[in-house]
């Protein structure tokens, strides 16, 4: 949208307002002048009638009176004198108007005995055009006779004068319009436009970060109030900046303290984790190392041992070494999981095979393992071996919670969003509420040293998260525990980059 300057806007508005005002004043002045001019013509005709009656008609000099009127009326004027049934018509141009004898104005004057005036032409403000004025009046002829006089006076000269008046008024309007516009433009530019431009420069300096020491904004009250408001606003902005800088500095100091505290907490957590790891791992590794040391002492002290016994001791040493290796690999699986082979997995098949393996090894003596596998469960994308590891960890965890007797139920179902849901439930004593939030933490365990490192559930949780799954636990004292794992269906899997991690 095209914009115009303040000066041009002021000039245009001044010219428009002044033009409207001068036009209205001109119309009023013209109508007043016109009215007085017409009234003057009427009064002139009245004077002629009075002079005619007093100087001619009362003396019976009708011919002289007619000549007086013909000489006094404008060109085109005419009249009728009627008395005692006689009518005399006269005209300044010598013609005769038969229609004038029955003029309604004359008849009205005869019937009422009053002087009647009528103006011929158009009078529709602001448009007016006057052709002439007719006056009918009773007159005395001689001393004993009465009659009626009708006089028509053309107003052509008045029209010429009115046109001249219109032109003079229009000229004065234009002259006054120019003078008022120039004078008003000068005054407003000096008192309004210049202070406004000064305010604009002030705002530009404010945007640059400083307030001018002084500014000539004139004496207009509102502009000075605006200038004062700008100064207050600038002071408030500067105060806000100072407060903001102070707050930022305080936040930076607080953040530095938080970073230091965080580092200290991380270090303390590492030390705590290391302590838990040392307590469990040291005992787990210490037992096989003690056995290896004992076997080595036997071999050293009995150099002449027969081959069968020697081979048996070597086999025991290798078994203990494998045990140490298994513990170390478990730690590595937590800290740096190995490569996986994701593929479309039949969840029910993996669970059934895993349950068979655990059952065949005799790890569930005295415990009933029940499977409730739904045929409606969708396939998922996962590593079958790692999924089997998760199921084994949950089964063994439930076994330890049962203490040698009880029931473990593994079931599958289709979730509400079409995902695959796996639940592992036991009927043991449940998990205390004060530690249920810690069971997935690395190295956390409630078992005695040498019976677990606390990595089983944490490794299982990491495996589940790798394949965009969620593992949750529900437990109440005396009502057992329930672990629920939810995997997205194979068609909904998105995080494929995790396959290579």
Neighbours of 117 (CB within 10 A): 14
CA–CA separation, 388 vs 381, rounded Å? Answer: 13
- Name the nearest CA neighbour of 57 among 37, 36, 84, 33: 84
Query: Tokens representing 65?
Result: 């009176």
Interval 342-355 mean pLDDT: 90
CB 422 within 8 A of CB 393: no
Residue 141 neighbours by CB under 8 Å, 6+ apart: 57, 58, 60, 62, 81, 83, 147
Of 255 and 162, more confident: 255
**Tokens 């004078």 -> residue:** 183
Among the ranges given (266-270, 312-316, 324-328), the one the predictor scored with the smallest mean pLDDT: 266-270
SS3 468: coil
CA–CA separation, 276 vs 268, rounded Å? Answer: 12
Residue 487 pLDDT:
93
**Tokens 């307590």 -> residue:** 279
CB 461 within 8 A of CB 430: no
Strands (DSSP E) found in 393-488: 406-414, 420-426, 470-475, 481-487
CA–CA separation, 277 vs 258, rounded Å? Answer: 28
Crossing angle of helices 221-301 and 194-207, rounded to 10°: 10
Mean pLDDT, all residues of the chain: 77
Q: What is the secondary structure of 284-306 as a DSSP string?
A: HHHHHHHHHHHHHHHHHH-TT--
CA–CA separation, 306 vs 310, rounded Å? Answer: 6
Query: Tokens representing 2?
Result: 């095209």
Inter-CA distances, 235 with 9, 230, 232, 249, Å: 33, 9, 5, 21
Whether residue 160 has pLDDT greater than 80: no
Side by side, which strands form the sheet with 470-475?
Answer: 367-372, 406-414, 420-426, 481-487, 470-475
Q: What is the secondary structure of 74-99 as a DSSP string?
A: PTT-EEEEEETTEEEEEETTS---GG
CA–CA separation, 114 vs 133, rounded Å? Answer: 17
Strand partners, 141: 145
Omega before residue 396 within 30° of 0, cis: no
CB 281 within 8 A of CB 453: yes
Q: How confident is the model at residue 411 (pLDDT cuts 50, 70, 90)?
A: very high
Q: What is the CATH number of domain 6-179?
A: 3.30.450.20
CA–CA separation, 224 vs 217, rounded Å? Answer: 7
Reading phi first (left if > 0) and then psi (alpha if -120 to 50, else beta), residue 234 is in: alpha
CA–CA separation, 322 vs 316, rounded Å? Answer: 10
Interval 159-176 mean pLDDT: 73
CB 416 within 8 A of CB 379: no
Residue 497 pLDDT:
47
Beta strands 343-345 and 127-141: pairing type?
unpaired
Domain coordinates in residue numbering, the chain = 6-179, 291-330, 338-500
Residue 348 pLDDT:
93
Q: How confident is the model at residue 123 (pLDDT cuts 50, 70, 90)?
A: low
Strand partners, 407: 368
Whether residue 453 has pLDDT greater than 60: no
Instruction: Pick one of 3.30.565.10, 3.40.640.10, 1.10.1740.10, 3.40.50.1820 as the CATH number of 338-500.
Output: 3.30.565.10
Whether residue 462 has pLDDT greater than 60: yes
Whether residue 484 has pLDDT greater than 70: yes
223-233 confidence digits (pLDDT tens): 677 777 777 78
CB 412 within 8 A of CB 377: yes
Residue 425 pLDDT:
92
381-407 confidence digits (pLDDT tens): 998 888 888 898 888 888 888 877 889
Using CB atoms within 10 Å of the CB of residue 291, give its burial: 0 to 12 exposed, 13 to 18 middle, 19+ buried: middle
């Amino acid at each position: 949208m095209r914009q115009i300057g303040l000066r041009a806007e002021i000039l245009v508005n001044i010219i428009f307002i002044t033009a409207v005002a001068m036009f209205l004043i001109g119309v009023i002045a013209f109508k007043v002048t016109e009215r007085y001019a017409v009234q003057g013509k009427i009064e002139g005709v009245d004077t002629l009638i009075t002079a005619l009656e007093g100087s001619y008609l009362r003396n019976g000099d009708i011919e002289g009176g007619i000549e007086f009127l013909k000489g006094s009326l404008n060109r085109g004027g005419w009249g009728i004198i009627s008395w005692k049934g006689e009518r005399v018509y006269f005209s300044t141009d010598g013609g005769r108007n038969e229609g004038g004898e029955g003029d309604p104005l004359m008849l009205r004057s005869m019937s009422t005995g009053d002087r009647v005036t009528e103006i011929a032409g158009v009078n529709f403000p602001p448009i007016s055009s006057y052709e002439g004025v007719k006056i009918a009046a009773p007159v005395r002829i001689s001393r004993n006779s009465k009659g009626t006089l009708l006089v028509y006076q053309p107003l052509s000269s008045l029209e010429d004068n009115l046109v001249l008046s219109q032109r003079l008024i229009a000229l004065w309007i234009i002259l006054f319009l120019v003078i008022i516009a120039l004078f008003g433009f000068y005054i407003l530019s000096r008192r309004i436009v210049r202070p406004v431009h000064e305010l604009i420069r002030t705002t530009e300096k404010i945007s640059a970060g400083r307030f001018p020491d002084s500014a000539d904004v004139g004496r207009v009250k509102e502009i000075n109030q605006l200038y004062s408001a700008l100064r207050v606003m600038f002071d408030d902005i500067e105060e806000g900046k100072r407060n903001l800088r102070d707050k930022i500095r305080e936040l930076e100091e607080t953040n530095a303290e938080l970073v230091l505290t965080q580092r200290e907490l991380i270090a303390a957590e590492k030390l705590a984790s290391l302590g838990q790891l040392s307590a469990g791992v040291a005992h787990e590794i210490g037992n096989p190392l003690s056995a290896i040391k004992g076997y080595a002492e036997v071999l050293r002290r009995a150099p002449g041992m027969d081959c069968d016994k020697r081979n048996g001791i070597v086999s025991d040493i290798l078994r203990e070494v494998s045990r140490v290796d298994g513990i170390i690999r478990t730690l590595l699986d937590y800290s740096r999981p190995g490569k996986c082979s994701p593929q479309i997995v039949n969840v029910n098949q993996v669970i059934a095979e895993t349950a068979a393996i655990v059952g065949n090894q005799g790890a569930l003596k005295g415990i009933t393992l029940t499977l409730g596998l739904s045929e409606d469960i969708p396939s998922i994308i996962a590593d079958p071996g790692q999924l089997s590891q998760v199921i084994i960890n949950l089964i063994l965890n439930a076994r330890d919670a049962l203490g040698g007797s009880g029931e473990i139920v593994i079931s599958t179902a289709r979730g509400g969003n079409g995902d695959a849901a796996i639940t592992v439930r036991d009927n043991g004593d449940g998990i205390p509420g004060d530690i249920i939030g810690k069971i997935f933490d690395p190295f956390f365990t409630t078992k005695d040293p040498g019976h677990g490192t606390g990595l089983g559930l944490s490794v299982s949780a990491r495996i589940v998260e790798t394949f965009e799954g969620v593992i949750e636990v529900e437990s109440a004292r005396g009502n057992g525990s329930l672990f629920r794992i939810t995997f997205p269906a194979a068609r909904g899997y998105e995080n494929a980059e995790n396959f290579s991690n």
